[in-house]
Amino acid sequence: MEHRAEARVDVSAIAANIALLKNKAGVELLAVVKADAYGHGLIEVGLAAERAGADWLGVALLEEAIALRTHGVRIPILAWLVSPGSDFKSAVTHDIDIAVSSIAVFNELATLKAKPRIHIELDTGMTRGGFLDEWQEFLTLDFSQVEIVGVFSHFARADEPGEKQNSDQLMCFKKMVEDLAAIGVNPPIKHLSNSAATLMNHDAAFDLVRTGIAMYGLSPDVNTLGSSNDLGLKPAMQVRAKLHLVKSVPAGALVGYGATAGTHRDTKLGVVAMGYADGIPRNSQGAGVAFDGVKAPIIGRVSMDQFVVDLGADSTAQSGDWVIVFGDGSHGEYTADDWARASGSINYEITTRIGPRVPRIYAPHVY
C-alpha cells in the first residue's frame, strides 16, 4: 500500500552523529531513545545505536527499557523516570539499570531478592528529578542490597553555555559526589552531560555523556549553538506527504477554518495529507513544504488531517505528487528548525510529535 505520508529515518545519519559525538566527548556514550527515540522509532534506533557503537541506551520509562531488551539490545540500559510501585522485579530480570531519586524508590529496590543496579540521581539546580531534600537522610542508608553503578544529574541550561547556572550545577555535582565518597561510596560511572554540554562543555563529560537530540542530527539550540550544519550533524528524519489535491484558485479565495488567510493572486494551492493529528502544529505560519526544491508556504490554519500550501501559479505539481514537509534543508526544503520557529516550539517537539499514523521508513531520504 502506498502511504499518504511517511517519516524516513536514515540510520546511517544516526551512526555518523554517534561517531562525531563519541569523538567529541572522548568518553562512553549513552544514546537517549526515550519517547520512541524522539519520534524516530524506539527499537530500530536502539538497535542501530548499539551497532553504531553506543555504549549505553537511556530511556525515561521502564517499559521502554524492557521493550529494548526483549528486542535484543545487549548493552546496558538506564531508565530514569521510575516511580514508586514500578515493576522493579522485571527491571532486574531484564537487567535494566534504574535511576533512584527518592528514598521511597530506594527502599523498594533494596528489598528485592536480586541486587538491582542503580544510578543515584542528584538535583544540582534544575529542580526536577534527583535528590535534594532527602539527600542527608539518603547518605545514612544501608547500600549493601544494591549495586551502585552510577551517579548523575541533568543540566537546565546547557544550551546557553555562558550561563552561570552551568558552572553552579557542575560544582554542586562534584560536591554531592564528594558527599558519597565521604561515606565510602564511589560510583564508577559519573554522568552529567546532555547533547548541548557534550558539544560545548568538555569539563562536564566525566565517564559518560547522554546524547539525545544531537544524535538525531538536530542542534540543541540553533540560536546559541548554531545549526545542524554548523555542528557537523546530519538530520536523520525526513517527513514527506502526498498532495491529496492540487487546484487552481482565483485571487481573493479564503482558505481554511476561520478564514484566517486568503489568496492575493491567482495561484495553485496544494492540499497536503497531514494535519495536527499527525503532529503538524496547528499554528505554523511561516513553515510549509517543498515541491521539486521550491518552497510552498502554508496558507491558513492546519486542520486535523490536512493543510493547504500555496504552490504558486507556475507550479507543475499535480494531485498525488509527494512534497517534503521537512528534511535536512539540502534540497530547498524546510527543516525541523523552521517548523519549530514557525510554531513557537523546539525541534525536539517537532520530530517527537510526528504521530503513529505516519509510518517510519528506515531508508535514505528521497528528493
Ligand X SMILES: *Cc1c(COP(=O)(O)O)cnc(C)c1O
Active site residues: 34, 257
State yes or no: residue 201 binds ligand X (CB under 6 A): no
Strand, helix or coil for residue 77: strand
- The whole-angstrom separation of Cα 74 and Cα 72 is 6
Q: Which is nearer to ligand X, 163 or 321 (CB)?
A: 163
Give residue number: closest CB to ligand X: 212
Q: Which is nearer to ligand X, 39 or 275 (CB)?
A: 39
Q: Which is nearer to ligand X, 236 or 273 (CB)?
A: 236
State yes or no: residue 220 binds ligand X (CB under 6 A): yes
Q: Which residues contact 152 (CB under 8 A, 6 or more apart)?
A: 99, 119, 120, 121, 122, 190, 191, 192, 210
Q: Which residue has the cell 507550479?
A: 315
Q: Which of residues 127-156 bind ligand X (CB under 6 A)?
A: 154
Q: Which is nearer to ligand X, 111 or 127 (CB)?
A: 127
Q: What share of the chain is helix, strand, coil (3-state, %, to 5)?
A: 30, 25, 45
Q: Which of 116, 125, 187, 212 binds ligand X (CB under 6 A)?
A: 212
The grid coordinates of residue 147 equal 549495586
Strand, helix or coil for residue 138: helix
Q: Which of 101, 166, 201, 211 binds ligand X (CB under 6 A)?
A: 211
Q: Which of residues 151-190 bind ligand X (CB under 6 A)?
A: 154
Q: Which of residues 32-91 bind ligand X (CB under 6 A)?
A: 32, 34, 80
Q: Which is nearer to ligand X, 80 or 276 (CB)?
A: 80
Contact by Cβ (8 Å): 82, 65: no
Smallest separation (angstroms) from ligand X to the CB of 256:
34
Distances 322 to 43, 291, 339, 366 between C-alpha atoms, Å = 27, 7, 18, 10
Q: Which of 210, 268, 295, 365 binds ligand X (CB under 6 A)?
A: 210
Contact by Cβ (8 Å): 194, 155: yes
Q: Which of these segments, 208-216, 310-318, 320-328, 356-364, binds ligand X (CB under 6 A)?
A: 208-216
Q: Any alpha helices (H) in the chain, and if so which ranges?
A: 11-25, 34-38, 42-51, 62-70, 88-93, 103-110, 135-138, 164-182, 195-200, 222-225, 228-231, 336-343, 347-352
Torsion of CA 126, 132, 133, 137, to 10 degrees: 170
Q: Which of 17, 195, 238, 335 binds ligand X (CB under 6 A)?
A: 195
State yes or no: residue 194 binds ligand X (CB under 6 A): yes
Q: Which of these segments, 133-141, 165-173, 204-212, 317-325, binds ligand X (CB under 6 A)?
A: 204-212
Q: Which of residues 99-128 bind ligand X (CB under 6 A)?
A: none
Smallest separation (angstroms) from ligand X to the CB of 52:
16
Q: Which of these segments, 40-48, 64-72, 160-168, 205-213, binds ligand X (CB under 6 A)?
A: 205-213
Torsion of CA 301, 303, 305, 309, to 10 degrees: -20
Smallest separation (angstroms) from ligand X to the CB of 305:
29
- By the criterion CB under 6 A, which residues form the site for ligand X? 32, 34, 80, 154, 194-195, 210-213, 220
